[in-house]
Amino acid sequence: MSENPALRASATFDRATIAEIQRAAETGIYRIRGWGAKRPLPHFDDLLFLGASMSRYPLEGYRERCDTDVKLGGRHGAVPVHLEIPITIAGMSFGALSANAKEALGRGATIAGTSTTTGDGGMTPEEREHSERLVYQYLPSRYGMNPDDLRRADAIEIVLGQGAKPGGGGLLLGQKISERVAAMRTLPQGIDQRSPSRHPDWTGPDDLTIKIAELREVTDGRIPIFVKIGASRPYYDTSLAVKAGADVVVLDGMQGGTAATQDVFIENVGIPTLAAIPQAVEALQELGVHREVQLVVSGGIRTGADVAKALALGADAVSIGTAALIALGDNSPALADEYAKLGSAPGYYDDFQAGLDPAGITTQDPELTARLDPVEGGRRVANYLRVLAMEAQTIARACGKSHVLNLEPEDLVALTLESAAMARVPLAGTSWIPGA
Amino acid sequence: MGTVTEIVIDLAATGVRTLNAALHEAADGESFQVLHPQGAHNVAVGITREVSVEVDGHVGYFAAGMHQRGDVTINGNAGPGVAENMMSGRVHVTGDVSQSAGATAVGGLLVVDGSTGARCGIALRGADIVVGGDVGHVTGFMAQAGRIVICGDAGDALGDSIYEARIYVRGSVASLGADCIEKPMRPEHLTELAELLAAAGRTESPDEFRRYGSARKLYHFDHDNEY
């Protein structure tokens, strides 16, 4: 930053914008990066809880029971996924992440009593072995898709979209297409891989109904079927997913992370998580299946307060991706020197596409991946998950709830007009819900 | 093996759940005859046993989907996604099939005596497909591995964004998709094509076919690529 106060930066052409124009002019190709939306957005920070007072009776912190468990996916007779805490690990691929990172996430989730999820690229044996509850993603690319793995899963998640890029397919650049990743995906080693944005054998909600029926047939109806949507039109997408037979709807807002997507896509397509939840809940309520078809929300979940706010707005559980990677060691200050060599710094590193991650998480380089101890990583993830659950319980008790799922919109107020309108809760100190 | 009895399942009287449950629990070597499918979806999906299944009539979506062992013959037409994600074994359709035939199939052989709709062999991952008639547009889209043999004509955008799969066409090609080019027929290609045609029970000569595959120019992001 300039020390000269006479120099005035443009709000429209800020330094990052100028740098991007210069980069584009230099290279002739769009910027690809990881992470999720970085622009300021209305978010859970704009909501506050109304703690108990005269008209509400609080529960004693640490003493009175406040349950956190949730069952996902029993609607059609499958064995539901029983979570001890309503916080799951979101789908992230082996390929995008190292095998050690995937194993660590599975270990952490298992210690904390929750589920983890595969990703584009299939199921690794390490991940299955160390994940007591494993959700198997069924993606447009079908990389590594194997009916034996479907049957080995505890649930199937049909992925229609991702919050970071609703309507977009995946990318995995050649630096990360190692021999093992290439073999799992049946691709030449080292190519810049594109995952399609559409499923290869069905389009539209009527076809999805038949696809869900097929997956139930193949697995003899034993495991639940989730449908994951990127938040763009969540009212309609949720309605159609339920109509098609989904047991669980997974809703990923635009703050949701990605391992590699065009920056222009990440920052300009989709809607914030805060705006998406009430629309999905409205659809479930109108269909009379709220809490019967569970809603799992992801995209910018960082704290137990975020968890509690998502649940209060009507979600049954949340998923974390970016936060789980940070818990594993991503963007650690201890790696400052190594980030500097890559032209980045702790707190800024988002070049997950490059395969050079000094934390050994978003890379396939054997030397880098060896830095991540999956046992220690699992411990860190479990610790973080526990903190999220305890924080959510703290808020729920303060609101007088004996189960975190008893939190409700009535417990919330908004700090801004935008968040009040999106979350459909009153502006703090008023009874006004804009647009209601 | 060598069973002489054939288990008959009438879908007009039962339904696909009964059929598929029976197929999933079948013993190796058993034979099934499926009557009156009447366009039902998900007929004979997820077979893991070495069984032989004959379906008499037309079927809907995803027939023989995720097939892993044994053989399925459909005496009729099939809807979208027949033999999708097949792992091995053999699926034979005597009539025509709709779009996305053999999508993402990993192994085994899909034989279609008639013609297919669009996107036959989309994202193929190693299986073989032999089509007696024509194929629709964008056949072989993003096909990663495996072989597609087309005894008739191919529609527009054949092999669009193809990876390492090989496509053989006997008739005309309306147009080629992005990064798909014609390639020379070398002796090994004539040999493998002859084997595929024989396996499918076809009588065409390999000499009558042309080969198409990837130019491999889209394998890396580059500002000179035309996306």
ipTM for the complex shown: 0.96
> What is residue B227's predicted lDDT score, i.e. its pLDDT?
44
> What is residue A1's predicted lDDT score, i.e. its pLDDT?
61
Within 8 A of A185 by CB-CB distance, chain B residues are: 144
Within 8 A of A214 by CB-CB distance, chain B residues are: 41-42, 45, 61-62, 65-66
Of B66, B100, B145, the CB nearest to A218: B66
Q: Answer yes or no: do A220 and B21 touch at CB < 8 A.
A: yes
Q: How many CB pairs under 8 A join A and B?
A: 101
Within 8 A of B106 by CB-CB distance, chain A residues are: 146, 186
* B59-72: average pLDDT: 98
Domain that holds residue B193: 6-214
Within 8 A of A174 by CB-CB distance, chain B residues are: 219-220
A121, A185 Cβ separation under 8 angstroms: yes
Residues B90, B95, B99: CA angle, nearest 5 degrees: 80
Q: Answer yes or no: do B81 and A29 touch at CB < 8 A.
A: no
* B154-177: average pLDDT: 98
Which residues 346-375 in chain A show a CB within 8 A of chain B? none
- Look at residue B59 and tell me if it is in a domain: yes
Own/partner contacts of A349-352, CB < 8 Å, gap of 24 or more, are: A350/A33, A350/A34, A350/A35, A350/A38, A351/A33, A351/A34, A352/A33, A352/A34, A352/A35, A352/A96, A352/A258, A352/A259, A352/A260
Q: How far apart are CA A156 and CA A80, in angstroms?
A: 11
Mean confidence (pLDDT) of chain B? 96
Helix (H, G, I), strand (E, B) or coil at A415: coil
Q: Which residue of B has its CA nearest to A24?
A: B223
Mark out chain B residues that contact chain A at CB-CB < 8 A.
Answer: 16-17, 20-21, 24, 41-42, 45-46, 48, 60-62, 65-66, 68, 80-81, 84-85, 87, 100, 103-104, 106, 119, 122-123, 125-126, 141-142, 144-145, 161, 163-164, 219-223
Within 8 A of B65 by CB-CB distance, chain A residues are: 214, 218
Q: How far apart are CA A344 and CA A395, in angstroms?
A: 36
Q: Is A141 on the interface with B (CB under 8 A)?
A: yes
Q: Helices in A66-203 by DSSP H: which ranges?
A: 99-112, 125-130, 147-152, 179-185
Q: Answer yes or no: do A196 and B142 touch at CB < 8 A.
A: yes
Q: Is A207 on the interface with B (CB under 8 A)?
A: yes
Q: pLDDT under 50 in chain A at which residues?
A: none
Helix (H, G, I), strand (E, B) or coil at A284: helix
Within 8 A of A213 by CB-CB distance, chain B residues are: 41-42
CATH number for the domain formed by residue range(s) A32-405: 3.20.20.70
pLDDT band, residue B222 (cuts 50/70/90): confident
> What is residue B205's predicted lDDT score, i.e. its pLDDT?
98
List the one residue out of B95, B182, B165, B96 whose CA is nearest residue B136. Answer: B96
Q: Answer yes or no: do A218 and B65 touch at CB < 8 A.
A: yes
- Label residue A290 exposed, middle or buried (CB < 10 Å: 0-12, 13-18, 19+): middle
* Residues A72-107 pLDDT 10s: 999 999 999 999 999 999 999 999 999 999 999 999
Tell me the Ramachandran region of residue A427: left when phi exceeds 0, alpha when psi lies from -120 to 50, beta otherwise. Answer: beta
Q: How far apart are CA A44 and CA A277, in angstroms?
A: 11
CA A281 to the chain's CA centroid: 18
* B84-94: average pLDDT: 98
- Look at residue B225 and tell me if it is in a domain: no
Q: Answer yes or no: do A201 and B80 touch at CB < 8 A.
A: yes
- Look at residue B222 and tell me if it is in a domain: no
Q: How far apart are CA B71 and CA B163, in angstroms?
A: 28
Within 8 A of A120 by CB-CB distance, chain B residues are: none
Q: How far is B24 from chain A (nearest CA, A)?
A: 9
Strand pairing report for B145-150 and B125-131: parallel
In this model, does residue B226 exceed pLDDT 70? no
A370, A360 Cβ separation under 8 angstroms: yes
Task: Give the CA distances from residue A376 to residues A133, A328, A382, A402, in Å, rounded to whole numbers and listed in that order.
Answer: 20, 9, 10, 33
> What is residue B225's predicted lDDT score, i.e. its pLDDT?
56
- Look at residue B184 and tell me if it is in a domain: yes
Total residue length of chain A: 436
- Look at residue B227 and tell me if it is in a domain: no
Q: How far apart are CA A108 and CA B167, in angstroms?
A: 46
- Look at residue B116 and tell me if it is in a domain: yes
Q: Number of structural domains, chain B?
A: 1
